[in-house]
Amino acid sequence: MVDSRPSVSSVSGAASAASVSGASSFTDAHRTHGTHSTPHAPATPLARTRRARRINRLLADEYPDAHCELDFTTPLELIVATVLSAQCTDKRVNKVTPALFAEFPDAACYAGANREHLEELIRPTGFFRNKAANLIGLGAALCDLHGGEVPGTMAELVALPGVGRKTANVVLGNAFGVPGFPVDTHVGRLVRRLGLTTETDAVVVEREITAMVEKKEWTMFSHRLIFHGRQVCSSRAPKCNVCVLATLCPSRAASEQERVK
């Protein structure tokens, strides 16, 4: 377990990673609130850390049942479902996976799959040709390198076909209980709107946010942000009037100032 209070050096390091280019991206993301004003993030790394932890506490109260919404029973099912979830909703993936999991119960089945048949099974998830190729490669790699089992470390996971840090963090946090902070479109949008970062690169966002929040909270903080992004802080029509984070959100404050002008 890491110390719940990040050191000054770790917080400062996270802050220094924010680039000038990220500022313009934050402005673009903020325009979904109906304003072209650039919201002001907390001025210091310590202030951002305090805000992040308060946000996490508020969201924990708001979403006590936050969880991974992909249906799975094994690490293999989760990694497959997460690969399919790229550019696709969890609900749509969950409609596809029951038949898929029944026909492909282990890594060897994916490795030996008929590509055209697999493509048809996963077609509703989009980008089905690339995803089918990744699943076949994933199955082969698991059989060749890991005895058909899904490995439980970041380094081993990201070396697999079709698996990046987001997928690896999902698998680590939800299949193995290893803290991870997946950064999807909802997470990225919210942490920028809330003034915790100006970065758009998911790897940098992950590094900055995990420096602010206790390690044991990483997985759940991501789930809570995703729940809030889906239910309240949507991309085009955020429900600021019912948002539990409204008083902490610089994007809402900037929007209100713009309306007053």
- Catalytic residue list: 166, 184
* DSSP H helices in 128-201: 128-146, 154-158, 165-175, 185-193
Determine which helix (DSSP H) or strand (DSSP E) holds 119, and give its type and residue range.
helix 115-122
Distance CA(101)–CA(145), nearest Å, equals: 22
CA atoms within 13 A on the CB side of 107: 22
68 is in an annotated binding site: no
249 among annotated binding-site residues: yes
CB 123 within 8 A of CB 147: no
Extract the tokens encoding 31.
Answer: 């325009």
For the chain, the C-alpha Rg in angstroms (whole number) is 20
C-alpha–C-alpha distance, residues 57 and 61, integer Å: 6
Q: Please report, in range form, the residues annotated as the binding site.
A: 233, 240, 243, 249
Q: Please report, in range form, the residues annotated as the binding site for [4Fe-4S] cluster.
A: 233, 240, 243, 249
